[in-house]
A and B are shown apart, each in its own frame.
Chain A
Amino acid sequence: MSAPDVVLRVENVTKRFGGVVALNDVTLSVGRGEIVGLIGPNGSGKTTLFNCITGVYKPDKGRVFFMGRDITGLQPHEVAKLGIARTWQKVRPFRNLTVLEAVTTGALLRTDSVEEARKTAVEVLELIGLPREEWGRLGSEITLMEHKLVDLARALATGPKLLLLDEIAAGLRPHEQERLAEVIKKVWSDRGLTIVVVEHVMRFVMSLSKRVVVLHEGRVIAEGPPEEVASNPRVIEAYLGIKPV
């Protein structure tokens, strides 16, 4: 992969919390237009990696590059401005805003006009397929699932180049997961996105990504096409338990 094609590069990133080493010398790259699956046991450092990329945490060691630019230690909003958007594993409800308002806020990153931003928000919400009746509901009234969709919509509305999805499908029924996967594929191709998906639902990951990276105890233990990774004995031992169907 030549440099301009690398959208995200994480180099030797280490992050500790007291005695816990959440990330241990992690290095990985994501190329333009890729959808990369990031999997690994609970507590293996996936969310922490997202946090280090988006500026929520500053890595103790190592660098993060986005489109060739060193973004280590930037503020989250600066990272967002550069074009990285994310969703959150732990739902963080916006209790007093409506769905539409929340998504509009995302869209305001690329424009100063509220009108324009609202238009973008409407487009994104339609794309995601959140029914119109839900748009006026407050964050305190919607279900966990709707939350995740709004989260996704808000992230998309910021007009990102790189999208980090943290367990977006968790809690969804299978057919909804399928629908979501379709949506993600659609925006991916529409907008020329690059995506990293963290998910424990293997089918979801496999249906989306051509390449999967496996974290275990803060280290990358495997990397490659989904089928290959899924049959990797270390991955089975550490993560899958048995070979998935």
Chain B
Amino acid sequence: MTRLLELRRVNAGYGEFKVLHDVSLYVDKGEIVAVVGPNGAGKTTLLRTIMGYTTLYSGSVVFKSADISGKRVHERVALGLTMVPEGRGIFPNLTVEENLLAGAYLERDKSKVRERLELVYSIFPRLKERRGQLAGSLSGGEAQMLALGRGLMTSPELLLVDEMSLGLAPKVVLALFDLVVKLNKEYGLTMLVVEQHVKNALEISSRGYVLENGRVVLEGDGRSLLSNEMLKKAYLIY
């Protein structure tokens, strides 16, 4: 297995406000890796650091064996890395379809773009129904689907997903986890997910990290984490 992403002793935060302390983690190609932890632990900050939105004080972010710490966000995307942000970050004044097309900005081959569009529509038929609607007027859950779909349109090698199932109906959540597995198995998509559905997330993940107060306090493969007593107490009451 090749190492796709590695964080080495990363310290990062916002301005003078340090959030992540000495965080090290890695993602191998073909893996699904979950990051869990309480609110405010720094999970979002972790993903944003990987994408290059935050201030990196020390440590390095390595993607496909190249240090990308100095690269800007869009350059990282061009390398095959993207994120579905928390709070969705869809383009409210673009239509649903335009949002998706914007996701494929770097793809110049029109037929490939169409292919991907069809794929996304087949995953989320609801989006197809709403293709001409301005994204700003979508319901909360529809917007979440759009954000995910748009992330897929970028066709990344590594997709970071922040709170994927936030605000989705239970049925959709279940379908989503199936989908994640499917994307991973069939399309070889590697993913780093931050999830509130800890159990579901760890069940489908090869490995997981537990973040608390900006530090990795626990790591291991999905199964072993699931059976960890401490974790059970803190998160797995469902």
Contact = CB atoms under 8 A, between A and B. Distances in A.
A–B interface present (Cβ within 8 A): yes
A89 B168 CA distance: 12
B176 to A, nearest CB: 11
Given A41-B172, A47-B140, A171 B163 contact: yes
7 contacts: A172-B39, A173-B38, A175-B235, A176-B39, A200-B168, A200-B170, A239-B171
B234 interface: yes
A42 B170 contact: no
A239 B173 CA distance: 10
A90 B40 contact: no
B40 A43 contact: no
Interface of B: 38-40, 86-87, 126, 133, 137-142, 144-145, 163, 166-175, 196, 198, 234-238
B238 A174 contact: yes
B87 A91 contact: yes
Interface string A45-77: 001000000000000000000000000000000
Contact of B145 (A17, A42, A91): A42
Interface string A139-152: 00001111000000
A241 B171 contact: yes
Interface of A: 17-18, 20, 40-44, 47, 89-91, 143-146, 167, 170-176, 178, 200, 202-203, 238-242, 244-245
Contacts of B40: 143, 145-146
A145 B166 CA distance: 12
Contacts of B172: 41-42, 241
A178 B172 CA distance: 23
B79 to A, nearest CB: 28
Contact of B126 (A18, A43, A178): A43
A173 B235 CA distance: 7
Contacts of A40: 169
Contacts of A202: 170
A47 B140 CA distance: 9
Contact of A240 (B86, B163, B170): B170
A42 B169 CA distance: 6
B108 to A, nearest CB: 33
Listed residue (A20, A91, A245) with the most chain B CB atoms within 10 angstroms of its CB: A20
B168 A43 contact: no
A225 B234 CA distance: 30
Contacts of B163: 171
Given A145-B40, A242-B174, A174 B167 contact: no
Contacts of B133: 18, 20
B39 A143 contact: yes
Contacts of B138: 43
A241 B174 contact: yes
A178 B234 CA distance: 12
A41 B87 CA distance: 19
A46 to B, nearest CB: 8
A42 B126 contact: yes
B237 A174 contact: yes
Contact of A173 (B87, B171, B196): B196
Contacts of A238: 171
Nearest to A238: B171
Contact of B166 (A47, A171, A178, A239): A171
